[in-house]
Amino acid sequence: MRSIVSRFIPSKSSISRLYTSGLLRNWRLLSTDSNRVDEPFKVEEAETVKVPPPPSDKKLLVLGGNGFVGSHVCREALERGLSVSSLSRSGRSSIRESWADKVVWHQGNLLVPDSLKDVMNGVTAVISCVGGFGSNSHMYKINGTANINAIRAASEQGVKRFVYISAADFGVANYLLQGYYKGKKAAEAELFSRFTYGE
């Protein structure tokens, strides 16, 4: 099985159009000409890249597989031929699509570290898409503590790779969602201490 990936290759004329309208100044979407309405940006060229299929012995655990981001990660991994499992408190999916039946669902709770050990056995990689909103203490618990527990369990079970979906800090949002960002930063710090890639 081969996957096809297209990536954007802008032409010189489309890049210069962007620069002259001020859209790429400082990598932010800015416009310096308020009287000018340009046509929508169009992709003029694309290159097809053939990606080899992943080895069939790879087992992926997606945390947050019932959520918006996690469900997309599960589906994409299945389409690429990976063996995919996920964790939920009920032990089953809340998603009613046929691909979700191909995911192995485990019962567990990220806030109860002992419930993670068996789930991590034989796992090659973990992708954590876990996140949530609420009060500051709730956001810290979901975005921080739950992910920290998962990172520690994966490290202790010898998982080779851990991918953590975090969030960028945007000043005002950080102030309004302190528990969210503090939790994400705490989980990032734990990840860097346990999984030191590139060293």
Strands (E), the chain: 3-8, 46-51, 59-63, 83-88, 104-107, 125-128, 161-164
- Give pTM, 2 decimals: 0.69
Which helix (H) or strand (E) element contains residue 69?
helix 68-79
Instruction: Report d(CA 86, CA 97) in Å as an integer.
Output: 15
φ, ψ (nearest 5 deg) of residue 167? -150, 150
* 91 or 46, higher pLDDT: 91
Average pLDDT over the chain reads 76
Q: What is the pLDDT of residue 181?
A: 86
Amino acid at 47: E
Q: Check pLDDT > 90 for residue 104.
A: yes
Q: Check pLDDT > 50 for residue 142.
A: yes
Least confident of 3-7, 72-76, 142-146: 3-7
Residue pLDDT, tens place only, 158-172: 999 999 988 887 777
Range 54-60 average pLDDT? 72
Q: Check pLDDT > 80 for residue 25.
A: no
- CATH for the stretch 54-194: 3.40.50.720
Q: What is the pLDDT of residue 199?
A: 39
Domain ranges for the chain:
3-50, 54-194
